[in-house]
Amino acid sequence: MAGFAPIFEAFSVSHAQILDGMTDFLTAMAAAYNQDTDVYGVAEAGLSPDTDSFSNEGDDTILSTWDWLNKGDLTVKSGYLSFPLIAALTGQPISSGTSAGKEVLAVDLWHEDAMSVAPKSMIIKMPSKDRDGNPADFVIGLYKVSFKPIQFDGPVYKDGLKVNYDGSALYSQLDELGQPFADGKKRVGRLLAVQK
């Protein structure tokens, strides 16, 4: 990996995928599109820290501060509504049939049993380059995401319907394969840069 500088820029979002507990971050980022677990047509994604702090005061001044992370707030917006992804996130089955000779697919929206499902690992992948312009893939891997019920933006005239797959990235004692970390410490995720 000679000449691969450890400073990167990323551009756009090319892939967001919910993992199945048997696939590691690197394998998932190299895999082809999977209709059951990929967020198809990602328009934007974001991850921001939810933090708190405490100021230790004395003698009419702040003597020290303590800061900590509660969780990460994840947002993923897509222009497509994926029935297989909703089924994977909620555990609710897709039903299919016909009506008047036309195929019909259906999945429950906001079913009460789908409001408290097990957290899942995921990746967000971006095309990237290192400081010297060498191409790479930049990946944010999250170990434990508790997904919120899907939300809709729109439909808006000439802008369509957007679907939000949001969640909370929580501290985890296990990696994406369910293995404990060697140092016994909890973490939220991992940043990966993979040379092309």
> Tokens representing 45?
């994604």
Flag whether pLDDT at 2 surpasses 70: no
Q: Please report the pLDDT score of residue 5 as a whole number.
A: 84
pLDDT at position 31: 84
pLDDT at 143 exceeding the cut of 90: yes
Please choose, from the candidates 55, 83, 85, the residue with its C-alpha nearest in 3D space to the C-alpha of residue 67: 55
Q: What is the reported pTM?
A: 0.90
* Mean pLDDT over the full length of the chain: 91
State the alpha helices, DSSP H only, in the chain.
25-30, 83-90
Looking at residues 150-176, what average pLDDT do you find? Answer: 91
Q: Look at residue 82 and give its three-state secondary structure.
A: coil
Q: What is the pLDDT of residue 1?
A: 47
Q: What is the mean pLDDT of residues 4-31?
A: 90
The pLDDT tens digits of the residues spanning 66-79 come to 999 999 999 999 98
